[in-house]
Structure 1
Amino acid sequence: MFEKFDDTAAEAFINCIKRNKKIIQRIKSPAKLRRLRSLGNIVLERISENFHDKGILIALSDEAMEKEFFEKLKNN
C-alpha cells in the first residue's frame, strides 16, 4: 500500500500522525517508533522533491533527529 503513495497520501499520513493522540502516545515506545520510522522511510522515497512537509518525514526517518521529530509534532 505504501509503495503507491504520492504527495496527497503522504500529507494524509503526516496529518494522521500529527492529529491522532493515540498514535502520538504509542510512538513514545521505541518499538512503535521504529515501525512508524520504517513506514516514514517508504513515504519519504515516494514524495516529490518539493513536498511541503518533507522536513517532518526526514526527522522521522533519521534516528538522530528523534527530538526534532517530536518537536515538529508539537509545533503543528
Structure 2
Amino acid sequence: MGYVLRVRMASFFAGAATASCIGLSVLYKDYKTPHESISLQAKAFHDSLDTRISTLESLRQSEAPQLPQTTTD
C-alpha cells in the first residue's frame, strides 16, 4: 500500500508542477502583451509631441523679430 501511495503522490505533484508552469507562462504572456502595447502607444505619443514641439520652436525662431545691433565705440 505504501508504494501505491508514493506513486500517487509523485504523480499528483508532477501534475501540479506542470499545471503551475503552464499557468505561470499564460499569466506572463497576459502581462507582457498589454505592457508592450502600452509602451508602443506611449512611445508614439512621445514622438508625436517631440515633432510638434520641434515645429513650434522652429516657427518661433523664424518669427522672432530681429533686434537692431548696437555697437558701442
Task: Give the TM-score, by structure 2 length.
Answer: 0.26
Larger radius of gyration: 2
TM-score (structure 1 length as normaliser): 0.25
Structure with more helix by fraction: 2
The structure, 1 or 2, with the larger RCO (C-alpha pairs under 8 Å, 6+ apart) is: 1
